[in-house]
Amino acid sequence: MGWSLSLGRISGIKVRIHATFLMLLGWIGLTAWNAGGPDAAGRALAYIVLLFACVVAHEFGHILVARRFGAQTEDVILLPIGGVARMKRIPEAPGQELWVALAGPAVNLAIAAVLVAVLGPRAVVDAFGSGDAQWHLLPDLAAANLFLAVFNLLPAFPMDGGRVLRAALAWRMGRARGTDVAARVGHVLAFAMGVYGLTSGKPLLMLVAAFIWFGANAENASVQTHAAAERLRVGDAMLTRLAMLGAGAPLAEAVELLVHSAQVDIPVVDALGRPLGLLTRDRLARALHELGADVAVGEVMLADLPQVAAEQKWDRNTFLDHTCLKAGIPQGCWHDADTDIFRFTALVFGRTRETTTRAPHSPTPSAALH
Ligand SMILES: [Zn+2]
């Protein structure tokens, strides 16, 4: 994320602080200074720094439990509305997600419990109601941790409570449907929160409401597109209209064909239309240079192509890694089980189909291949 500063690493994970959070610190310090001088400013800043240390601890609750399930985290960013842990992969099994979601609020409860045990419950109860600027940093911190635990457990997806709800729903109705329902509940709560924030003059609450609203949208869209991709078969993504050449055709014919089409590679077939190999653009260029335009396509084509069944689940990464890259080529030929006809394709065509079925930020391995 841009505009953020690294604070160092905890347990191997980068902790970053966003510029807007530094601005918040500056604003709080200034306001407190104006109201009560340097002492008040120092106390206010100490409180915010301790509070956000608790927020980081909350995030590490999520991170360490997720790590137990094999999910790695890139970094934690502190924003004025809280911390965000960016995980490379959120555990998807409902049981795992449940534990990961609960671990954050559990950390805040634990901190509050320790503080209550040390300070006594009276001090903490008093801290909840008092609006004065007295020096009761630790009771305030205990109260804030209790609030954080309860607030995060609101079933407003994608907040922690919303993730608990999604996990529970996913058990009954599957992840895609469960996410959809949880996102709707999140929308209702975000709307209520936004209206309350507006009428009671609490801009931070409105910001959190917006975060929930858009967060629910983004995560739901991502889950739905992945669910759609799950249903795709290789046959759905493959190209079926390709110009082909016989093995005896001269390279000149291949040049002619490529010049007049958007095709990148040319499948080479026998008299019955069965695949013999693939003439890639690279091979064509090299052969033209070294051997001339009269050489037969069959002599320079790439033979022994890997084959994938059309009914196999479409997974671009698996396909690339295990089928094409291992064979040393970015292309494959696919077998249509219905008609028992082999069809060729170039992965570049799979890419155009996939842009509508995958999250927009997923990396495009094909781009690295060409
Ligand atoms: Zn959390």
pLDDT above 60: residue 115? yes
Q: Which residue has the tokens 């249509």?
A: 336
Kindly report, residue by residue over 174-200, the tens digit of the pLDDT.
999 999 999 999 999 999 999 999 999
- Hey, what are 235's tokens? 């046959």
Across the range 18-37, mean pLDDT stands at 88
Assess whether 59 carries a catalytic annotation: yes
Q: Which residue has the higher pLDDT, 218 or 348?
A: 218
Q: Which residue has the higher pLDDT, 40 or 364?
A: 40
Of 42-56, 186-200, 261-275, minimum mean pLDDT range = 261-275
pLDDT interval class at 137 (50, 70, 90): confident
SS3 346: strand
pLDDT interval class at 164 (50, 70, 90): very high
Cα 122 to middle of ligand 1, angstroms: 28
Cα 205 to middle of ligand 1, angstroms: 17
Cα 105 to middle of ligand 1, angstroms: 6
Cα 63 to middle of ligand 1, angstroms: 10
| CA–CA separation, 238 and 235 (whole Å) | 5
Tell me which residue of 141, 145, 149, 146 sits closest to 44, measured CA to CA. 141
pLDDT above 60: residue 333? no
Cα 56 to middle of ligand 1, angstroms: 10
Domain positions in the chain are: 4-231, 235-369
Give the DSSP letter string of 88-154.
SS---SHHHHHHHHHHHHHHHHHHHHHHHHHH-HHHHHHHHH--S--S-HHHHHHHHHHHHHHHHTS
* HSE value, Cβ hemisphere, 13 Å, CA-based, for 289: 6
pLDDT above 80: residue 242? no
Question: What is the percentage of the chain residues whose pLDDT exceeds 90?
Answer: 41
Across the range 239-245, mean pLDDT stands at 77
CA separation, residue 109 to residues 61, 139, 145, 153, 322 (Å): 11, 14, 7, 11, 47
pLDDT score, position 130: 60
pTM of structure: 0.65
pLDDT interval class at 36 (50, 70, 90): confident
| CA–CA separation, 52 and 36 (whole Å) | 23
If you average pLDDT over every residue of the chain, what do you get? 80
- The fourth-level CATH superfamily of domain 235-369 is CBS-domain (3.10.580.10)
Question: What value does the CA radius of gyration of the chain take, rounded to a whole number of Å?
Answer: 29
Among 59, 97, 219, 354, which one carries the catalytic annotation? Answer: 59
pLDDT score, position 307: 64
Cα 51 to middle of ligand 1, angstroms: 14
Of 34-38, 272-276, 314-318, 346-350, minimum mean pLDDT range = 346-350
| CB 335, CB 235: distance < 8 Å | no
pLDDT interval class at 306 (50, 70, 90): low
Strands (DSSP E) found in 208-346: 245-246, 266-269, 275-279, 302-303, 307-309, 331-336, 341-346
| CB 127, CB 142: distance < 8 Å | yes
Q: Of the segments 82-96, 120-134, 327-341, which one has the largest average pLDDT value?
A: 82-96
pLDDT above 80: residue 42? yes
pLDDT interval class at 362 (50, 70, 90): very low
Tell me which residue of 182, 181, 179, 204 sits closest to 194, measured CA to CA. 204
pLDDT above 80: residue 157? yes
pLDDT above 50: residue 170? yes
Cα 67 to middle of ligand 1, angstroms: 15
Tell me which residue of 96, 97, 75 sits closest to 12, measured CA to CA. 75
Across the range 220-245, mean pLDDT stands at 78
Q: Of the segments 32-41, 73-82, 161-170, 257-266, which one has the largest average pLDDT value?
A: 161-170
pLDDT score, position 135: 55
First to last CA, the chain: 28
Tell me which residue of 260, 267, 274, 264 sits closest to 243, measured CA to CA. 267
pLDDT above 60: residue 16? yes
Residues with CB under 5 A from ligand 1 (ion): 104, 160
Cα 173 to middle of ligand 1, angstroms: 24
